[in-house]
Amino acid sequence: MATLQELANSVIEGDVERVKELTQELLQAGVDPLEIIDKGLIAGMDVVGTRFKAGEMFVPEVLMCAKAMAEGTSLVKPHLAGKELKTHGTFVIGTVKNDLHDIGKNLVSMMVESAGFTVINLGVDVSPEAFVKAIQEHKPDILGMSALLTTTLPYMKETIEAIKEAGLRDSVKIIIGGAPVTQEYADQIGADGYAPDAGAAAELCKKLVGAA
């Protein structure tokens, strides 16, 4: 029979098909769905995170592993039957208004998801109003904003202003990132955090919800 360790190893190898197979086998064998997630999928992803930090694994590999884990998770979800899937919280992310840059934001999204958050990815060119609406709808613990252009950077400030005006600022932590973003800028516009790369963003999220 398939084991949780094998499942974790397949996540580490980024073998999407094998992860799907093993997850099915484990479900059919009656293994607790929560255990499949915690001790199989997430356990594998934890190793991936460690190896990525040590420089042994590269971004494309991490993305493959994250994809494998997400596929596995989606197979398990229907079997949870009311059981609460434990996550560190909900994370809403988007690239700010007039900015169409996708890759870095998606990378952060996948890393944060792999770190154990429920992630809602709003896409690119997200207006301040759309961010406000998403907070009302999803009630996230953390909101992430991305910008690659110095010309779109001011929308981060505008979005925070809009969130304040809507009376939602205290309900959510706000983190920002992207090539032109600095810690100083984060402080200046009243964000709660800044991360220079996707790995650091996942760490930052955990820290903000007291999980690290």
Partner 1 sequence: MGISGGIMGGSYKPLSQKQIEQIHEATLEILENVGVEISNQEAQDILATAGARIDRETNRVYLPRKLVEQSIESAPSEVLLAGRDEKNDLLLSGKRVYLGTGGTALNVLDLENEYRPATLRDCKDIARLVDALDNIHFFVLPVYPNELPKEEVDVNRFYAAIQNTTKHVMGGVYTIEGVRKVIRIAEIIAGGPSELRKRPFISMITSIMSPLKFDVAYTELMLEVARQGIPIATSTCPMAGATAPVTLAGTLVQQNAESLAGIVLVQQVNPGTPVLYSAVPTTVDIRTMDFLFGCVEMGLMNAAISQMAQYYNLPIYSTAGVSDSKLPDAQSGYEKATTALLCALAGSNYVHNCAGLIDKGMTVSYAQYVIDDDINGMVMRAVRGIEVNSDTLAVDVIKQVGPGGNYLAEKHTLKFMRSEFFFPNVTERRSYRQWKEDGAKDCWKRATERAKEILASHESVPIPEEIERRLAEEFPELRV
Report how far residue 36's alpha carbon sits from residue 152's, in angstroms, rounded to the nearest whole number: 42
Per-residue b or e along 21-58, where b marks 16 or more CB atoms closer than 10 Å to that residue's CB: bbbeebbeeebebeebbebbbbbbbbebbebbeeeebe
DSSP letter, residue 144: E
Decide the pairing of beta strands 193-194 and 90-95: unpaired
Closest CB to partner 1 among 5 and 182? 182
Write down the least CB distance from residue 193 to partner 1, Å.
14
Write down the least CB distance from residue 82 to partner 1, Å.
33
Closest CB to partner 1 among 50 and 58? 58
Helical residues (DSSP H) of the chain, grouped into ranges: 4-13, 16-28, 33-35, 43-53, 59-76, 103-114, 128-138, 154-165, 183-189, 198-208
Closest CB to partner 1 among 93 and 135? 93
3 state DSSP class of 81:
coil
Write down the least CB distance from residue 33 to partner 1, Å.
26
Write down the least CB distance from residue 129 to partner 1, Å.
25
Write down the least CB distance from residue 166 to partner 1, Å.
32
Interface ranges with partner 1 (CB under 8 A): 14, 58-61, 63-64, 67, 102-103, 107, 182-183, 196
Closest CB to partner 1 among 110 and 163? 110
Closest CB to partner 1 among 154 and 196? 196
